[in-house]
Each structure stands twice: as C-alpha cells, then as structure tokens.
Amino acid sequence: MLVELGHFSLVLAMLMSAAQAWFGLAGPALRQPQWSAVAYSAVAGQLLFVGLAAAALLHAFIGNDFSVLYVASNSNSALPTFYRIAAFWGAHEGSLLLWICVLCLWTVAVALRSHHLPRPFASRVLGVLGLVSFGFMLFTLATSNPFRRLLPAALDGRDLNPLLQDFALAVHPPILYAGYVGLSVGFAFACATLIEGRTGQDWARWMRPWTIISWAFLGCGIALGSWWAYYELGWGGYWFWDPVENASFMPWLMATALIHSLAVTDKRGLFKSWTLLLAIGAFSLSLLGTFLVRSGVLVSVHSFAADPARGVFILTFLVIMIGGALSLYAWRAPRLVSSAGFALVSRESMLLFNNILLVVATAVVFGGTLAPLIAETLGLGTLSVGPPYFSPSFMVPVLPLLALLGVGMHARWRRGGLGDARRPVLTIAALAVILGLAICLGAYASRSVLAWVGATLGCWLILSSLIDPVDRMRRKLSLPAAIVGMSMAHIGLGVFVLGVTLVETATVERDVALRAGQGVQLAGYTFTYEGGENIAGPNYNGYRGHVVVTRNGSTVAQLTPEKRNYWVQGSVMTEAGISASWTRDLFAALGEDVGAGAWSLRLQYRPLIRFIWFGALIMAIGGIVTLFDRRYAYASVASAETADATTQRATP
C-alpha cells in the first residue's frame, strides 16, 4: 500500500514540476506576478511528494518488502540495515529517484535563497528547474519505475551487489549527484539570463556560489569513487579512464572552466556569452554522461540494444533541453557585448588561457570516450581507447595549464603585468625546478623526465599559491576568504599533481605466489605471508590472509587482505589489506589458493597516493571557503538594491 502511495506521490510530484515550469516561465512572460508565486508553492509541493516517494521506497528497503521488484533485485534480509538504505541507489531505478530528490533539494535551496534576486528572474530560474525535474520524473515513471511490484513476491531478495556494500560507495552517489545535479542550477540561471535578454553582468555574481558548491560536491564525489575503486576493486588503481568515470570527470572540468570564467564576467563584464555557453555545456555534459551510462552505449559498444527505450528517451530529452538552450543562446548571445580591454599578460588573458585549455582537456576526454562509437559509425572498425591513450593526450592541454597557473594567479587585471609579484614568482619558479629534481632524484631515485616535470609543477602550484597570503600577512593586510579559498584550491591541485606524479612513476608492484612463512622484497620493504584463516560475515564467508611487512628488521605494518564469497549472488570479492600513511601505502590483495598452502598475492608500494584524494578534498574545501567572502554578503545587499531597477527593465 505504502509503495503505491509512493508511486502516486511521484506522479503528483511530476505534475507539481510541470506546474512549477509553466507558472515559473509564463508568469514573467505574460506579466502575471501572482503566477510566479504559484511556482514557489509548486516547489513546496514537489518537496512534499518527492519526499513521500523517497520515504516509501526507503521503507520498502528497510522493511524487506520483496514484493517490490527493485527491492527484491537489490536487497536481502541478511543485508545490514546501513546497506539496505544505500541499496536505495544501488541500481538504475533508485538512482534516478535519488537524482530527482537531489534536484528537488537544489530547487528548494534556490527558492529559499532567491530573495535577493529580481522576482521575474527567480521565477524563470525555478521554471527552468521545473522543466529539468519534469523530464527526469517522466523518464523514471515511463521507463524505470522503482515502485513496480513483483507478483508473487520473492521469498528473499537477490542482495545488493557486494561491490557496493561499502561505506565509501554508499555515500559516493549522493555526493556525486549533489554536484552533477547542482550544475542544473547554473544551467537554469543561464537560461533565465538568456530568456530575459539581460545585458549586464549581475547574474554572474548570483550564479557563482551555486556553481562553486556543485563543483565542490562533484570533486568530492569523484574523489570518493576513486578512493573506493582503489581499495575495493583489489587491483590498486585509482583512475581507469573508464567511460563511466569520464562521464563524471567531463562536467567537473567544464565546471572548473565555468568558475574561472564567471570570475572574469563578474569582475570585468567580459566573456559574458562564453560564460553562459559554459554553464549550458557543463549541464549538457552531465546529461550526456547520464545518457552514455544509462543507455549502455559505451559500457560496451556491442550492447546498444541493452535498453534502447531508456537511451532513446534520454537522447530525446537531451536534444530538447540542450537544443532549446542553444537556440536561446544563438538568439540572445549576440547582444552580450563588452568593450572592456586587457593586456597580453593580465588576469583576464590568463583566465582565458585557463578556459581554453580546460575546454581542450574536456574535448580530449570527450573524443577518447566517444572514439569507439565514432570509429564504428564511420566504418573504421572496432577500437578500444584506454589509459595508454588518455594519459599522454590529457597532458597536452594540462601541462601548459598547470605551468601558467602559477603566473596567472598573480597577474593583475586589465593593464596586467605581475607588479610586485614578479620577483617572488620567478624565485619560486626556480625553487620549484630544484625541489622537483630533489624529490625525484633524492627521495625516489627516479630518473623519469615526466616525474621531474610533474614534481616541479606540483611544487610550483603549492608555493606560488602561498605568495599572496604570505605577502598579505607580512604587510598585515586583511585576508579575505576569497583569497584564502583560491589559494587553498590551488594548493590542493598542487598536492594532487604531486600525488599523481609519484604514484604513476614510482609505484612498485608484484604479483607473487607465497606459502605461509615465505616473503618477498619490494621497494625496501619485506612482505611476508603468514597464513590465514576462514572467516564468516553477515552475508558472506571468506578467507583472511595475514601479511606482515617489515623494514630493516622492524615490523611496519600488518595487512589483512580478505577474499569474500557473498553467498546470495555467489560473487567473490577482494578486500585489499592496506597500510596507509602520508608518504606511502602498502597494499596487499589476495588472488587465489594456488595449492600446497600457497596463495597468489598482489603486493604494492604506492608513494604519496593519499595526496591524490587529500588534494581533491583541499580543492573542494577551498571552493567552499571562497563562499564566505564578505563581499558576497555585500553583493546580495547591493543586488537587492539594484533588483527593483532591473525588474523594471526586465519586464518592460
């Protein structure tokens, strides 16, 4: 009964979103201000009914209602409660409902924070969000309904995929989605700007915080997924350039470009149409990612027919939303001109390079991800594109980007030059080259040129990000949150670059078969296999091995890799044994029993791998810190004052 109520709530929520779209967009267009008020009520109604729908599904999971097909396919009575909740988004249907919930929360947040926006503008933003919401609810109800019944009910469920029975992966989807879906807010702001034909730049400041928050969430979500892949998949990799990963990485790259372009638009009124295009592009890429993943076009080129209905629906939705937004853009963008100028070396030019290089990087990932599809369509035969293509190609735009970043941060606006920062920047460039060499040769005895380049760039980013804050502190000036956040984000990038560089160039790994008591040398550490025992968990049984790692005779770590057999699905999972520290990870994963008491083991030494996720986290926190800048508070007061003036202009 509750399940049917949930189903019914979702239908009502869809109708609410249709009302939100209509009244939000038609209100200002037909000059009916009271209609806009209805859009707000529709948002509230949507929150209620989406909440009810989600609660109904959650209840079915917690209460083990195996008469619901989705629950029966993704849960089991032996599954711990925490994972029963996470099973909500463990597969396609539920994750769409999660998408809808997140979009609903973003919409509510926009509605609550819209008091400083001109009324018609806020109304249009809600209208566009309503359209997006409507599309996704229709998609869910038409092709992927999580509330479908299973008659007769199953005695027990088929269990959640064991790969997903893990803390990081349980929280990864909501966080990733918060970012993914958050980009729709920027998209809605861009559409509203275009619909109104605003020629100013005030919208850039309104849009900035939303873009930064969703960018931060997206970054955290990707990093969590990467961390999970590292310890859960059992082969020690953290990024595979898999189509599914690329689908989340491309919007992140675009959003990064957008944040920087918004800075120029906000400050100088430059790049207005470009910024709008980026906002549309970032959201388009998140829709496209959804299409690629959900339709199964790319996971395997040969399974296009896996579920064509879903693919066709998303493709249609994509064409309508993106086509509509781009037509709007083509119509309105020519009006957005600026007469501002800037010098060859100026903050504006550097941010222009930033944008171009980030877009090239996105295009490289895009091309590589779609290459198998392109090749097949053009009759060029089948093709696989993997890390050996992506890694070098991605460096083509990204190395110049990182090199320019340290200069760009200090370039002055408009007439440009580096001003007082010239000397410290040059000093730090020299210092970074030497430090890079010292790290490679001294600490890791690596002669790889790439390692040196990477280490140099990492040091360059970290040190040059410190120039501004240190200088301000020395001169006893105030330290605005915007500057602290920007420096943090760039330091995070530097930390990330250092991590990636050393993991890629200085990792040592070996696959060996060891009998109890046997050991092997790896990067100065001795890994000794000391046997193991059988174990039993709530919904699995398995084997736990003990690997003792010693260095110079003293024990450094005790690793307990496990091999688990989840009996419901009959699938075997590897739990790696990892000893983590700032400077290195020691990693052991069990292979299989090769007979005579010996097990095959994958052993790894990975330097600085924690820097990768830690760097990503600092980046995201840096973004959030900038939101606390005092001038955002001023901005909302100032824009509230100008709001009335703009309102009149916007609705002539």
Radius of gyration of the chain (CA): 26
Q: Please list every residue from 190 through 229 that binds other proteins, using CB under 8 A.
A: 205, 225, 228-229
Q: Please list every residue from 486 through 505 that binds other proteins, using CB under 8 A.
A: 486
In angstroms, the CA 521 to CA 551 distance is 10
- Tell me the window of 115-123, 129-137, 315-323, 583-591 that interacts with other proteins (CB under 8 A): 583-591
| Selection from 264, 216, 213 nearest residue 492 by Cα | 216
| Selection from 325, 402, 390 nearest residue 364 by Cα | 390
Our CB check for other proteins shows the closer of 331 and 634 to be 634
Binding of residue 340 to other proteins (CB under 8 A): yes
| Paired residues of 547 in beta bridges | 529, 559
Q: Please list every residue from 149 through 168 that binds other proteins, using CB under 8 A.
A: 161-164
Q: Minimum distance between the CB of residue 8 and other proteins, rounded to whole angstroms?
A: 25
In angstroms, the CA 125 to CA 462 distance is 38
Q: Please list every residue from 46 through 85 that binds other proteins, using CB under 8 A.
A: none
Q: Minimum distance between the CB of residue 39 and other proteins, rounded to whole angstroms?
A: 29
Q: Please list every residue from 427 through 486 that binds other proteins, using CB under 8 A.
A: 480, 482-483, 485-486
- Tell me the window of 10-18, 27-35, 426-434, 586-594 that interacts with other proteins (CB under 8 A): 586-594
Binding of residue 591 to other proteins (CB under 8 A): yes
Q: Please list every residue from 612 through 631 that binds other proteins, using CB under 8 A.
A: 626, 629, 631
Our CB check for other proteins shows the closer of 34 and 339 to be 339
What is the contact mask toward other proteins in residues 302 to 331, using x (rule: CB under 8 A)? Answer: ------------------------------
| Selection from 398, 169, 182, 344 nearest residue 279 by Cα | 182
Our CB check for other proteins shows the closer of 8 and 632 to be 632
In angstroms, the CA 446 to CA 597 distance is 37
Q: Minimum distance between the CB of residue 525 and other proteins, rounded to whole angstroms?
A: 18
Q: Please list every residue from 119 through 148 that binds other proteins, using CB under 8 A.
A: none
Query: Which tokens belong to 356?
Result: 């171009």
Which helix (H) or strand (E) covers residue 559, if one does? strand 554-559
With CB under 8 A as the contact rule, the residue among 59, 92, 116, 649 that binds other proteins is 92
Binding of residue 177 to other proteins (CB under 8 A): yes
Our CB check for other proteins shows the closer of 392 and 442 to be 392
In angstroms, the CA 378 to CA 472 distance is 57
286, 280 contact by CB (below 8 A):
no
Query: Which tokens belong to 392?
Result: 């070098």
With CB under 8 A as the contact rule, the residue among 384, 427, 521, 583 that binds other proteins is 384
What is the contact mask toward other proteins in residues 254 to 293, using x (rule: CB under 8 A)? Answer: ---------x--xxxxx------------------x---x
Q: Minimum distance between the CB of residue 489 and other proteins, rounded to whole angstroms?
A: 9
Our CB check for other proteins shows the closer of 363 and 426 to be 363
Binding of residue 579 to other proteins (CB under 8 A): no
440, 455 contact by CB (below 8 A):
yes
Please count the residues of this chain forming the interface with other proteins, following the rule CB under 8 A: 105
With CB under 8 A as the contact rule, the residue among 23, 342, 529, 605 that binds other proteins is 342
Contacts for 44-49: CB closer than 8 Å, 24+ residues apart = 44/108, 45/12, 45/13, 45/16, 45/19, 46/13, 46/16, 46/17, 46/20, 46/104, 46/107, 46/133, 47/104, 47/105, 47/108, 49/9, 49/10, 49/12, 49/13, 49/16
**Helices (DSSP H) in 113-166: which residue ranges?**
119-143
What is the contact mask toward other proteins in residues 537 to 576, using x (rule: CB under 8 A)? Answer: --------------------------------xxxxxx--
| Selection from 286, 271, 267, 117 nearest residue 215 by Cα | 286
Q: Please list every residue from 95 through 114 that binds other proteins, using CB under 8 A.
A: 95, 98
How many CB atoms are closer than 10 A to CB 458?
A: 28
DSSP line for 201-218: SHHHHHHHHHHHHHHHHH
